[in-house]
Chains A and B, each alone.
Chain A
Amino acid sequence: MTTELAANGKPFVHHHGAHCETAVTSALFRYQGVDISEPMIFGIGSGIFFGYLPFIKLVHLPVTAFRYKPGAVFHKAAKRLGGDFVIKTYRDPQKGMDELRQVLKTGQIVGLSTNLYWLPYVTERHRHNFNGHNIIVLREIEGGFRISDPTFGDPVDCPADGLEQARFVPGPLNPHGYMYYTKSVNPHPDLRGACIKGMKDSCSLMLRIPLPIFGVRGMRFLAKKIIKSPDKLGFQEACRHLAGTVRWVEETGTGGAGFRYMYAAFFHEAAGLFSSDELADLSKEMTAIGDNWREFSVTAARIIKQKDKAEETFAKAGGLILKCADREEAFFKKLQKVARQLKA
């Protein structure tokens, strides 16, 4: 946690967060004086999700999404908390950068969507072609910008041309300089109502999408694929696919176990807000589900490292996901009932 100054000298506190989008949204609200934590934004924006997208490939590996599509969490949370944001995209990079400078001069801090691959301070471990990485620009400095990237510990300096490259990438993964800043924020948002809306929305996303690749059904689909994968792809390739899945569970800014721990933290806070024991129980249950996902990734890592060959098999890894699916289905069915009884 470090304090920085925005362009007009107003202090901005940089919090280390697990996920870019939720942490940026929470930082924008905090800057306007509404104290709201990252897990809270995640829960209110109905971030939790599951989707297995075998037809979209990043670096030859299929995408497994553990949260709803990029941008949606910000939109939903802003709407439910009564925040009014100016959202802009640009075709012309020069115009996009000029307007960014103008807005910064008025003392606003600005959220940006960038392509993770092109940000100059990102290292090889995080580098993949993903166009929805959110950062906050605090102020202009000589030859560049001061940036608070909440997924990393401290604010960083970024050269102007590097930022321009990251904002305007040719091709299908172009963020088009997507930029947002606050117009006005409700200083006393209706947190309880927003939480209930978020929970109900999450339930329908996880349980009611009638396609086999989303929600709980998607998990079962993925599990079956993993169990079959060594026969279909060969051991080496199956390992690579498994490693890709684990990367989506643990690495891509999920805060561990595919956002499940963060979601549990949301229920922990919500239980305090509603002073409800049921929500506290749900929080514990979600933590247990998170532990289950962690167990899956450890099993997967053991398969990759070829430890205990007889015990750690693809069937076991798939079985763990099936178990996760069953538990999450029960969890969200229970949440549906609990959320209905909560009063805003």
Chain B
Amino acid sequence: MKAQKELTMELEDEIFNDGLPKAYYKHNDNGQYVLETNAPWAEKVSCALIIAGNRANLEEIRKAVLAGQKSPLCYHMEMRQMDPGMLAKAAGIAGFRVKRHLRPEIFAKLKLSVLNRYTKALRVTLEELKTVPNS
């Protein structure tokens, strides 16, 4: 439990020390409104939770792809923070077809013209689209 706590603290620091601070309005003692760059604690906590959730989700999908339960398309879609509906509009392919293509056996049989549409929409190369990173 403690190890997990330290892990989330590290994640918070990692996310919030990346050099691009945002500004927050603050009411100071003189009645003026000034900008400061310290992120509120609540924001750190919820951001870390969401990003950790996204990362874990992506990792899960990657494992599922390697195990042959999902198609690599699913991984790349999730990486670009899209859902099937959005991807369908981006690639110009009907929604139900995109959902079918998330199954590995159907994805394996796709024609090059369809794959090219996905590479354009997701901005990955053809080789990348057919595989997932190993680690």
Residue numbers of A with Cβ under 8 A of B are 16-18, 39, 57-61, 117, 121-129, 151-153, 165, 169-173, 239-240, 242-244, 246-247, 250-251, 253, 255-256, 261-262, 264-265, 268, 287, 294, 297-298, 300-301, 304-305
Which residues of chain B (49-94) have a CB below 8 Å from chain A? 49-51, 53-54, 80-83, 86-87, 89-91
Residue numbers of B with Cβ under 8 A of A are 15-16, 18-27, 31-33, 35, 37, 39-43, 45-47, 49-51, 53-54, 80-83, 86-87, 89-91, 120-121, 123
Cα distance, A244 to B45, chains bound together (Å): 11
Cα distance, A247 to B43, chains bound together (Å): 6
- The answer to whether B46 and A301 have CB atoms under 8 Å apart is yes
Total A-B residue pairs with C-beta atoms closer than 8 Å? Answer: 140
Cα distance, A304 to B123, chains bound together (Å): 35
Q: Choose among B39, B43, B51, B86 the residue with the greatest number of A CB atoms under 10 Å from its CB.
A: B43
- The answer to whether A61 and B50 have CB atoms under 8 Å apart is yes
- The answer to whether B37 and A153 have CB atoms under 8 Å apart is yes
Cα distance, A246 to B37, chains bound together (Å): 18
Q: List, in ascending order, chain B residues with CB within 8 A of A128's CB.
A: 81
Cα distance, A256 to B87, chains bound together (Å): 33
**Pairs A–B under 8 Å by Cβ, sample size 21:** A16-B35, A39-B33, A121-B20, A128-B81, A129-B81, A151-B23, A172-B89, A173-B86, A240-B53, A243-B47, A243-B50, A246-B43, A247-B46, A250-B40, A250-B43, A255-B35, A261-B24, A261-B26, A268-B31, A268-B33, A301-B45
Interface residue from A16, A170, A264, A301 paired with B23 (Cβ < 8 Å): A16
- The answer to whether B23 and A247 have CB atoms under 8 Å apart is no
Smallest distance from the beta carbon of B87 to chain A beta carbons, Å?
7
A172-B86 contact given A125-B51, A129-B81, A152-B20, CB 8 Å threshold: yes
Cα distance, A297 to B91, chains bound together (Å): 38
Cα distance, A94 to B115, chains bound together (Å): 24
A261-B20 contact given A58-B81, A246-B43, CB 8 Å threshold: no
Cα distance, A26 to B23, chains bound together (Å): 16
